[in-house]
Amino acid sequence: MKKLLVLIARILVSATFLYSGFVKLVDPIGSQYKFTEYFGADVLNLEFLIPFALPFSIFLILTEIMLGLILLIGYKRKITVWSLFGMTLLFLFLTGYSAYYNKVTDCGCFGDALKLSAWETFYKNVVLIAFILVLLFHREAIRPFFNKRASKTIAFLSILAFSYIVYHVLVHLPLIDFRAYAVGNNIQEGMAYVEGSEDLPPVHDFFLESETEDLTDQILSADKVMLLIAYDIEKSNWIGFTAFQKTIHQAKEMGYVVYGVSASPTDELHVLQKEMKLPIEFLFCDETTLKTMIRANPGLVFLEQGTVVGKWNWRDAGAVFD
């Protein structure tokens, strides 16, 4: 009975950490945004840590997925189980604090793949702690599936593979997009409210405004649209705007409606247009929405009658029309 209980706990805990780690591994910038929210003045008031949100998120993601893996194969039982216990206790505190004080409504524990309320996440961690305690008190029943050398090789190759995935995603775009603005999704459909549901629709803060009018409907009904998105030009890599200059001209020659979109002040955008010689008008949109649309600053989003048909990081500008 004890062996069966340990096996069930082992599979459930490792599966939870592997799944949670994987959905964040393919989109580490999403975790960066979430840690930035946690470190903010309104939550933990640790604003001095905000510049380290990305490396902290990468470290935590790699740790999380590796702990799930090595628990599954039964490698380094003692340090693995204690590490899982300590990490889950940290998550328990953060989610409990967020739920009680209503600070962060979505902890991001499963990235954008699975949304849980603050209290749902807290109770999930309570159950997880219970299973980890079973493993903690019965570590001797965790039998390795491979010999020590094979386990070490699997762990080493896995951390290399996971680290490469993080690098690739940061240089380009997420390997899997769980957000409402994923390629193939229609923005107008995402705005639709479900009758009888109290939840907000997947797309609920999308608007495109010039200095004089709202162009949202006009742009979403156009056949071919290219949006150059830079949620905050002070944080943008300006080399990216240079990289997109040729792409902008190509798009216009091919009949695309081309706009820039940002949440930055108008005077800063005018400076950008002048210095980068960008022949496009910039529209305003909510910063969080732009961060959700594309994990690049700047990046390109292509629309056809409101449907997302392509996304590009500025580093891939040369391949847009190839």
Specify the pLDDT at position 99: 79
Helix, coil or strand: residue 110: coil
Domains annotated on the chain, with CATH:
2-171 (no CATH), 187-319 (3.40.30.10)
Q: What angle do CA 160, 182, 16 make, to 5 degrees?
A: 50
Q: What angle do CA 265, 250, 296 make, to 5 degrees?
A: 45
Do 193 and 201 contact (CB within 8 A), yes or no?
A: yes
pLDDT band at 218 (very low <50, low <70, confident <90, very high): very high
Query: CA-CA distances (angstroms) from residue 161 to 106, 158, 315?
Result: 29, 5, 22
pLDDT digits 0-9 by tens, 169-213:
999 999 999 999 999 999 999 998 877 777 789 898 999 999 899
> pTM of the prediction?
0.89
pLDDT of 277 higher than 80:
yes
pLDDT of 32 higher than 70:
yes
- Two tokens, residue 83: 């590490």
DSSP 296: S
Q: CB neighbours of 185 closer than 8 A, spacing ≥ 6?
A: 307, 308
The mean per-residue pLDDT over the stretch 147-176 comes to: 95
